[in-house]
């Protein structure tokens, strides 16, 4: 397969979401670790912890969403 514009686009989209998911993946893992530890230490506060955990996950996940948007733009628009 020759390296055409189409091939580069697909490669770029794959790299964009693949590399872009590394950071949020680690981040969400750390949030989950913190949430599980906090719940283990103070089970009564699990409701509040869950709320804050999901909020923090959303902020970490937003970065992955930007990568997804870039990948989608590369495939469908660029």
Partner 1 sequence: MKRVAKVLAVLVLIGLCAFSCVIGPLGQKQVVQPHIQMAAETFQVGPIKVPNTLMGLLLADLVLIGLFLAGTRHIRAGRPEAMVPRGLQNLVEAIYEFLANFLRGILGERAEKMLPLLITFFLFILVANWIELFPGFDTVGLIEQVHEGEGHAVRAVGPLIFLTHEEGEYTLVPFLRAANTDLNVPLALALISVFMTQVYGVQALGWGYFSRFINIKALTSGGFMGLMNFLVGLLETLSEFTKIISFGFRLFGNIFAGMVLLLVISSLVPFVAPVVFYILELFVGAVQALVFMMLTAAFTAVATAGHGEHH
Q: Catalog residues that contact partner 1 under the rule CB under 8 A.
A: 47-48, 51, 54-55, 57-58, 61-62, 65-66, 68-69, 72, 76
- Would the CA dihedral through 34, 39, 40, 42 be positive or negative? positive
Min dist. Cβ of residue 66 to partner 1 (A): 8
CB burial readout 43-61, b (16+ within 10 A) else e:
eeeeeebeeebeebbeebb
Min dist. Cβ of residue 72 to partner 1 (A): 7
Min dist. Cβ of residue 26 to partner 1 (A): 18
Place of tokens 């948007």: 69
């Amino acid at each position: 397969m020759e390296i055409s514009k189409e091939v580069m686009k697909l490669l770029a989209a794959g790299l964009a979401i693949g590399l872009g998911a590394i950071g949020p993946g680690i981040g969400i893992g750390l949030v989950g670790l913190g949430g599980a530890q906090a719940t283990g230490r103070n089970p009564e506060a699990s409701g509040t912890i869950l709320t804050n955990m999901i909020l923090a996950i959303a902020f970490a996940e937003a970065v992955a969403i930007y990568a997804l948007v870039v990948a989608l733009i590369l495939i469908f628009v660029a």
